[in-house]
Amino acid sequence: MLLDDARAVLAQSPVCDSCLGRPFADRSHGLTVAERGRALRVAVALAEDEPFEAPDPEDCWVCEGHCTQFDAWATRAANDLADITFETYQVGTRVPPLIEENERLLREDAGLDPDAGEAFKAEFNREVGRRLGAMLEVEVDFDRSDVLVICDLASDILEVQINPAFVYGRYRKLERDIPQTEWPCRECHGSGTVEGEPCAHCGGSGYLYEHSVEQYVAPHVQDAMDGTDALFHGAGREDVDARMLDTGRPFVVEVKHPYERFPDLEALEAAINDQADGAVEVDGLRFATHEMVERVKELEANKTYRATIEFEAAVTPEALGDALEELEGATIEQRTPDRVSHRRADLVRTRAVHAISGDLEDDRHATIEVEGAGGLYIKELLHGDDGRTEPSLAGLLGVDVTVTALDVIAVEAEEGTFEDPAFLREPPRAF
């Protein structure tokens, strides 16, 4: 039966070994498609006691000679990838419609299942990819490769798509009044001008704040990776007037089209910290996978805060202790704070206080430390936001509270860790 099917395909000669072998790609293992076709051609010749003849593969009407070009495309790809640092790759092919139609006609005229064996595109991807991997000593990755090579057969153009690279770390913001990301002026929308004149709201800079954590960090990562753009992703964000201290906040910088995928992270960290000059620090830089972006942005995290507060009237140690005891472990209902209601939906959110403690400096001042669930508004927990947060420290004390300074001192995942090795990757070489 197999030889009969092979005869039916050979009857449509000229057909090259690859195009002969593809309809039977699922019939055996350990052979390339071309080797399988060659074996069938020989077997038919032996069975019929006929002279063995093989047509010039360039004359094949099915693939139009493209199956002779695997080496050439692989060499072109290796040359185009020579200046790009990468570890994994994938090959894709844009197949001319005529070749796809020829494949269908070959099977139909031979009386075979139209989907029998393997498609031309799959063979082309595999054979070019196999040769490319051997030339450059890199690994194929069918899920998410560092680079994607696309062979456009109709236009004879080879395209190289460089997928983003990712650097994970933690930052500390050591000065106040620095936003996490760029903050364009809402009056001029970042242009710096209004009706042809310098914007009075931002002084013509286009930004409400001169610096941001993103501006201190992302450009350095982009330059080190020789990329075209960089996106900053943080695990939440602190208020502009709050510092981020101690263990720091997890972040990922995503770099588009990186030509250098694995720069020296120690040198990168030093460059960022030197240029930031004490305003921002980063540490623990690691190469990461694209899944780390989602992990940083969506993984539930507990935050620990330290706040200094001022009371409108005198407070005793006993009263403060009783109020803190009532807040310990409490479930807090918070209506969207008045200070952010212009940009967030007016909702009532429920969040937990995991731990809270505090000490009076005098009867009008105290330092409070709070560990809360992600999304808990700490300032409002303390001053009550005119009753929009219940319960609150101010409400329990019956005394107005003003938060004079706020620091975030820890951001940790509720379960597991941000630094899960499954979302990090090691460089292919030691520095």
List, as one string, the DSSP characters of 271-282. HHHHHHTTSEEE
What is d(CA 347, CA 341) in angstroms, rounded to the nearest whole number? 9
Give the type of residue at 258: P
Helix (H) or strand (E) holding 247: strand 243-256
Q: Which residues are 162's β-sheet partners? A: 147
Active site includes 239? yes
Tokens at 335, concatenated:
């209506």
Q: Which of 146, 239, 385, 407 is catalytic?
A: 239
Number of C-alpha atoms within 13 angstroms, CB side, residue 127?
22
Q: Which residues are 161's β-sheet partners? A: 148
Question: For tokens 């209506």, what's the residue?
Answer: 335
Q: How many other C-beta atoms lie within 10 A of the C-beta of residue 377?
A: 21
Residues 6+ apart with CB under 8 A from 137: none
Give the type of residue at 14: P
Q: Yes or no: say if 358 and 369 are a contact pair by the CB < 8 Å rule.
A: yes
Tokens at 109, concatenated:
């005229």
Q: Yes or no: say if 168 and 268 are a contact pair by the CB < 8 Å rule.
A: no
- Active site (catalytic) residues: 239
